[in-house]
C-alpha cells in the first residue's frame, strides 16, 4: 500500500472538493429516462419456469450461472501463467513467511484459504495495518484490474506490490531473491522454469536488503547497485510474481445452491428448483436482477463486471479520503510492471485494457472495483475498508443510497421494505459454494 503524507492528502482533498463543486455547476442535469411498461411475461422455454421467469429473465439467470464461466483465458503478460511447475513453485512462495521483513508474513496471512482467501478483518494486518481491506483472490484471475482501485493490471504485478509494501510483507526484492537463491529446492525449481538465476554471491554487488522501497537505507543500497544488477534482481523478482500468479489462477469458486437452481431451471426440473431455493431466496433473486439493479454491476458468472463504480460508501473514521479509481488509474499507467512494460510478456496488441483505459471522467473519483458476490456471506466485513460488518448493513446502504464522501454515486434509493431486504439477503446467502479447487492447493505444500 502506498503511504501518503497527511499534508499531501489534505491538499489533494481540497482540489477534489473544488472539482466536485465545479462538476455541480457545470454539468447538465441528468437526462430523464423515458419509461415504458415492463414487457409482459412471454411464454417461457419450459413449463416448469412458466409461473416464474420470462425468457429474458432466464437468459439473465443463465448469464450469472457458474456454468457460463468460460475457461480461464491465458494471461499473455505471464508466459508461465498456465505452467503447472510455476503454479507449484508459486504455491510454496504464497505460504512462505520468509518473504517478509520479520519472517512472519506470507500472502496467506491476509488471504487465508480457510476464509475463502480473505482475513475476516475490516483492514488487513501484518507489519502494519492497511488502509483498505483484503479482498478475496477467488476467481480474480478473470479480472483485468487488481486492487480496489485497479492500480495493477496483472496478478503477477499485483503480487509484487504487498511484498515491498512497508506495512505488508515489508521486505525488499534483493532480500527475496537471495532467499530463492539460497534455498536448494527453490533454486532448482526456479531454474527449471525460468533459467539460471544470476550469481548473487557478491554481497557488495547484491546487498542483503535493497529495493526501491520507502525504507531509506534499503533504497540507498538499491540506488547504489549497478543498473544491470538491479535489472537482474528485478527480473528474478518478477518471475516470483509470475509463479505466484500461476498458483492464484487455480483458485476458483464452486457451484452454489443458486447455480443448482439455475441448472434445474434450464433443464426444466421444477422439483429440484423448489427444493433448492426457498421462495424468499427466489424473491431475493428477482429483486437482485430487477428492482434492486444489482445486476448492473454485479453481472456475469462471478457477479462482477470487474469495473469501477462509485456507490458512495462512507469513509472510515480516522482514515483519509480514498480517491479510488482516479488515483489507481494513474498508478497503473506509470507502473514499471504494467502490461506494456519491459517485464511483461505481452505484445501491445494484448494490452487493450491498458491502452484504452479510462483516465478521466466523473465516474472515476471515489469509484472502487466491484467485488465478486460468490461466497459473499462467508467474507464479512464488506466494502473497500470493511465499512459494513454485515450483509444487512450493506443492503441498508443500497436502500438509502446516500451521497458518498467524494464524486458522484451511481446509486438511487431503492425504497425496499424490510421483508424485501431480508429476501435479498437470503438470496446473497445462497451464493455460497466454497471453492472448486483441489484441496492440495489450499494448504502449504508439504
Q: Which residues bind another protein (CB under 8 A)?
A: 5, 7-8, 11-12, 15-16, 18-19, 22-23, 26-28, 30-31, 33-38, 54-57, 59-60, 63, 144, 289-291, 293, 295-297, 299-300, 305-308, 326, 330, 347-349, 352-353, 355-365, 408, 410
Supply φ then ψ for residue 361, to 5 degrees: 130, 155
Q: What is the C-alpha to C-alpha distance for residues 19 and 12, in angstroms, rounded to an integer?
A: 10
For the bound state, the minimum distance from the C-beta of residue 272 to ligand HEC, rounded and expressed in Å, comes to 25
For the bound state, the minimum distance from the C-beta of residue 78 to another protein, rounded and expressed in Å, comes to 18
| Residue 353 interacts with ligand HEC (CB under 6 A): yes or no | no
Grid cell for residue 6: 497527511
Residues 34-73 that bind ligand HEC (CB under 6 A): none
Q: What is the C-alpha to C-alpha distance for residues 221 and 356, in angstroms, rounded to an integer?
A: 37
| Residue 156 interacts with ligand HEC (CB under 6 A): yes or no | no
Asked whether 150 and 140 are in contact (CB, 8 A), the reply is: no
SS3 352: helix
Grid cell for residue 400: 438509502
Only segment of 109-117, 197-205, 215-223, 349-357 that touches ligand HEC (CB under 6 A): 109-117
| Residue 431 interacts with ligand HEC (CB under 6 A): yes or no | no
Picked from another protein, ligand HEC, none, the partner binding residue 175 (CB below 5 to 8 A depending on kind) is none
Nearer to ligand HEC among residue 157 and residue 200 (C-beta): 157
DSSP bridge pairs for 309: 368
Pairing of strands 308-309, 368-369: antiparallel
Interface with ligand HEC (CB under 6 A), residue from 263, 277, 368, 435: 368
Nearer to ligand HEC among residue 229 and residue 420 (C-beta): 420
Picked from another protein, ligand HEC, none, the partner binding residue 97 (CB below 5 to 8 A depending on kind) is none
If you write DSSP's letter for every residue of 277-291 in order, what string do you get? S-HHHHHHHHHHHTT
For the bound state, the minimum distance from the C-beta of residue 282 to another protein, rounded and expressed in Å, comes to 15
Q: What is the C-alpha to C-alpha distance for residues 273 and 49, in angstroms, rounded to an integer?
A: 9
> What is the x/- site pattern for ligand HEC, positions 272-311, by CB under 6 A?
--------------------xxx-xxx----------x-x
Please give the DSSP secondary-structure letter assigned to residue 131: S
Asked whether 247 and 108 are in contact (CB, 8 A), the reply is: no
Picked from ligand HEC, another protein, none, the partner binding residue 16 (CB below 5 to 8 A depending on kind) is another protein
Q: Which of 148, 361, 137 is nearest to 251 (CA)?
A: 137
Nearer to another protein among residue 292 and residue 433 (C-beta): 292
| Residue 126 interacts with ligand HEC (CB under 6 A): yes or no | yes
Q: Which of 157, 195, 173, 159 is nearest to 343 (CA)?
A: 157
For the bound state, the minimum distance from the C-beta of residue 42 to ligand HEC, rounded and expressed in Å, comes to 25
**One-letter-per-residue 3-state SS of 176-218:** HHHHHHHCHHHHHHHHHHHCCCCCCCCCCCCCCCCCCCCCHHH
Asked whether 43 and 123 are in contact (CB, 8 A), the reply is: no
Asked whether 356 and 393 are in contact (CB, 8 A), the reply is: no
Residues that bind ligand HEC (CB under 6 A): 1, 105, 107, 109-111, 124, 126, 130, 132-135, 137, 140, 143, 146-149, 155, 158-159, 162-163, 168-169, 244, 292-294, 296-298, 309, 311, 313, 368-371, 373, 376, 379, 382-384, 391, 394, 398, 410, 424
Amino acid at each position: 500500500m502506498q503511504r501518503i503524507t497527511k499534508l499531501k492528502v489534505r491538499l489533494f482533498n481540497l482540489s477534489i472538493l473544488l472539482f466536485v463543486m465545479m462538476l455541480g455547476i457545470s454539468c447538465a442535469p441528468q437526462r430523464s429516462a423515458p419509461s415504458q411498461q415492463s414487457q409482459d411475461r412471454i411464454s417461457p422455454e419450459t413449463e416448469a419456469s412458466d409461473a416464474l421467469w420470462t425468457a429474458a429473465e432466464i437468459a439473465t439467470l443463465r448469464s450469472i450461472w457458474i456454468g457460463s464461466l468460460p475457461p480461464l483465458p491465458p494471461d499473455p503478460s505471464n508466459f508461465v501463467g498456465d505452467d503447472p511447475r510455476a503454479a507449484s513453485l508459486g504455491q510454496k512462495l504464497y505460504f512462505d513467511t520468509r518473504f517478509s521483513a520479520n519472517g512472519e508474513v506470507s500472502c496467506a496471512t491476509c488471504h487465508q484459504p480457510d476464509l475463502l482467501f480473505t482475513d475476516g478483518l475490516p483492514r488487513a494486518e501484518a507489519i502494519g495495518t492497511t488502509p483498505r481491506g483484503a479482498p478475496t483472490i477467488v476467481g480474480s484471475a478473470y479480472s483485468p484490474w487488481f486492487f480496489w482501485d485497479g492500480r495493477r493490471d496483472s496478478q503477477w504485478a499485483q503480487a509484487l506490490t504487498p511484498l515491498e509494501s512497508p506495512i505488508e510483507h515489508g521486505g525488499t526484492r534483493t532480500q527475496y531473491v537471495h532467499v530463492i537463491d539460497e534455498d536448494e529446492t527453490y533454486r532448482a525449481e526456479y531454474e527449471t522454469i525460468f533459467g539460471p538465476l544470476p550469481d548473487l554471491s557478491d554481497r557488495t554487488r547484491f546487498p542483503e536488503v535493497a529495493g526501491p522501497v520507502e525504507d531509506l537505507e534499503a533504497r540507498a543500497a538499491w540506488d547504489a547497485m549497478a543498473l544491470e544488477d538491479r535489472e537482474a534482481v528485478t527480473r528474478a523478482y518478477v518471475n516470483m510474481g509470475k509463479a505466484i500468479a500461476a498458483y492464484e489462477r487455480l483458485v476458483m469458486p464452486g457451484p452454489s445452491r443458486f447455480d443448482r437452481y439455475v441448472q434445474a431451471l434450464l433443464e426444466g426440473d421444477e422439483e429440484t428448483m423448489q427444493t433448492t431455493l426457498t421462495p424468499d431466496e427466489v424473491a431475493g433473486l428477482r429483486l437482485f436482477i430487477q428492482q434492486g439493479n444489482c445486476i448492473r454491476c454485479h453481472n456475469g458468472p462471478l457477479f462482477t463486471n470487474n469495473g469501477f463504480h462509485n456507490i458512495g460508501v462512507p469513509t472510515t473514521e480516522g482514515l483519509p479520503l480514498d480517491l479510488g479509481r482516479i488515483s489507481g488509474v494513474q498508478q497503473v499507467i506509470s507502473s514499471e510492471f504494467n502490461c506494456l512494460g519491459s517485464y511483461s510478456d505481452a505484445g501491445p496488441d494484448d494490452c487493450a485494457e491498458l491502452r484504452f483505459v479510462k483516465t478521466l471522467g466523473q465516474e472515476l473519483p471515489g469509484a472502487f472495483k466491484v467485488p465478486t458476490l460468490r461466497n459473499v456471506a462467508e467474507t464479512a466485513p464488506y466494502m473497500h475498508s470493511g465499512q459494513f460488518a454485515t450483509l444487512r448493513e450493506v443492503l441498508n446502504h443500497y436502500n438509502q443510497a446516500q451521497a458518498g464522501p467524494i464524486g458522484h454515486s451511481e446509486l438511487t434509493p431503492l425504497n425496499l421494505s424490510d421483508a424485501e431486504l431480508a429476501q435479498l439477503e437470503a438470496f446473497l446467502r445462497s451464493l455460497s459454494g466454497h471453492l472448486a479447487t483441489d484441496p492440495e492447493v489450499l494448504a502449504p505444500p508439504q
